[in-house]
Amino acid sequence: MIKLREKQYDRQKCVEYANKWALSRNPKYYDYEKIGGDCTNFASQCIFAGSNVMNDKSWYYRNANQKSPSWTGVEFLYDFLVRNQGIGPHGREVAQNQIELGDLIQLSSNGQRFSHSLIVVGIGNVNYLSDILIDTHSFDALKRPVATYDFKKIRFVHIDKVYF
């Protein structure tokens, strides 16, 4: 069995990537906007920019047709991050006041199923959603306050570390 090595998640690289591509598309990745939405694809790209490691079995993107469900699916990305036991980024659900730049926020508009992924790119007072800024695709947003969204449930996923 191979022993995994740990490295720090580069929050600054994640945020820089998010700010660069929030209002446009990186041509290296397919744009899923017209076939269900691009928010989780964008979130995965940002997390990859901060981790620089893909998991070839559970969280990866090779091309539009060769990608893991966790790369583009809201619930699948959450499940991968919080349950990952191998290579790649590892996360955990936390309270609002524990998030940091480069972390993931997911929203549920109906209170049942989470359907939108956002990347944290700015934090004033972490206790106020109006002071937490995000970047996202699918209704592209650059440094938009989370408080401007209409949702019934919200969850915060802190990226703890990256294994390679």
Say if residue 2's pLDDT is above 80.
no
Q: Which helix (H) or strand (E) holds 69?
A: helix 69-72
Contact yes or no for 89/162 (Cβ under 8 A): yes
What average pLDDT is seen over the chain?
97
What mean pLDDT is predicted for residues 9-36?
98
Which pTM was predicted? 0.97
Q: How much of the chain, in percent, has pLDDT values that exceed 90?
A: 98
Name all domains of the chain by residue range, CATH numbers in brackets.
6-163 (3.90.1720)
Say if residue 1's pLDDT is above 80.
no
What mean pLDDT is predicted for residues 127-154?
97
Per-residue pLDDT tens digits for 95-140: 999 999 999 999 999 999 999 999 999 999 999 999 999 999 999 9
Q: What is the dihedral of CA 50, 159, 68, 109, to 10 degrees?
A: -120
Say if residue 18's pLDDT is above 70.
yes
Q: 27: left (phi > 0), else alpha (psi -120 to 50), else beta?
A: alpha
The residue type of 133 is L
Buried b (16+ CB within 10 A) or exposed e, 123-149: eeebeebeebbbbbbbebbeebbbeeb
The residue type of 26 is N
